[in-house]
């Protein structure tokens, strides 16, 4: 196959014009597709074995992927996250992940929703719960917070049918209660 070249052809286009170039591109394409297929295989001994070789390649070129959207099952629980802030003067305040408008704000809010899922998934004190509690305290540093508690709210969804439309009953449990020190409130940005 002969491919015509313009005078300003790129290196890649020059490679595409030669048999050797097309062979090299074909090999890269085959290796890449193999790695993509392997990472999308169902969890199995075969996948685990092949992934040891292919995953570092995908990670390095940024082609790692996971398309498990609502898979294997969507959650059956509505969740929420709430921080309670205790201030030095004895007053309290609350913080919840931002929910802006549904039309445009959604394109920012979905990240908070994803983050909330992961914070709640941590289940107790850990990197995300401590990070979030500290960040909330820093956001409210003007009021001199002394303690931040993170609580998860949850309500089980009934299956579709007559009970599906009934109001949900929420329960609440604590993920972390973090004493706030003056050092934690210090930051580089005002």
State yes or no: residue 116 binds other proteins (CB under 8 A).
yes
Interactions with other proteins, residue window 126-165 (CB under 8 A): 127-128, 131-132, 134-135, 138, 157, 159-161, 164-165
The DSSP output letter for 140 is T
User: Residue 85 and residue 171: Cα distance in Å, rounded?
Assistant: 19
Shortest Cβ 109–other proteins spacing (Å): 6
Shortest Cβ 137–other proteins spacing (Å): 11
User: How many chain residues touch other proteins (CB under 8 A)?
Assistant: 76
State yes or no: residue 31 binds other proteins (CB under 8 A).
no
User: Residue 60 and residue 143: Cα distance in Å, rounded?
Assistant: 45
User: Residue 85 and residue 134: Cα distance in Å, rounded?
Assistant: 11
x/- contact string, 166-185, with other proteins (CB under 8 A)?
A: --x-----------------
Per-residue tokens: 163: 């009970």
Give the residue from 53, 70, 63 showing the smallest Cα distance to 117: 70
Between 48 and 118, CB nearer to other proteins: 118
- Beta bridge mates, 171: 154
Shortest Cβ 74–other proteins spacing (Å): 4
Interactions with other proteins, residue window 38-97 (CB under 8 A): 40, 42, 55-76, 78-80
Q: Are 148 and 83 in contact (CB under 8 A)?
A: yes
Between 113 and 147, CB nearer to other proteins: 113
Interactions with other proteins, residue window 11-30 (CB under 8 A): 12-13, 16, 22, 25-26, 29
User: Residue 144 and residue 140: Cα distance in Å, rounded?
Assistant: 7
Q: Give the H/E segment covering residue 46.
A: helix 45-61
């Amino acid at each position: 196959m002969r491919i015509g070249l313009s005078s300003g052809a790129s290196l890649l286009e020059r490679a595409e014009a030669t048999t050797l170039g097309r062979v090299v591109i074909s090999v890269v394409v085959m290796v890449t597709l193999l790695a993509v297929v392997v990472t999308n295989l169902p969890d199995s001994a075969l996948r685990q074995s092949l992934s040891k070789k292919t995953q570092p390649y995908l990670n390095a070129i940024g082609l790692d992927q996971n398309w498990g959207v609502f898979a294997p099952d969507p959650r059956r629980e509505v969740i929420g996250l709430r921080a309670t802030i205790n201030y030095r003067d004895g007053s309290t305040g609350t913080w919840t992940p931002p929910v802006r408008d549904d039309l445009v704000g959604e394109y920012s809010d979905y990240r908070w929703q994803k983050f909330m899922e992961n914070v709640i998934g941590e289940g107790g004190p850990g990197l995300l719960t401590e990070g979030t509690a500290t960040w909330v305290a820093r956001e409210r540093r003007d009021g001199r917070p002394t303690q931040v508690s993170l609580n998860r709210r949850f309500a089980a969804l009934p299956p579709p049918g007559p009970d599906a439309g009934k109001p949900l009953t929420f329960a609440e449990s604590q993920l972390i209660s973090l004493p706030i020190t003056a050092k934690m409130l210090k930051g580089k940005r005002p």
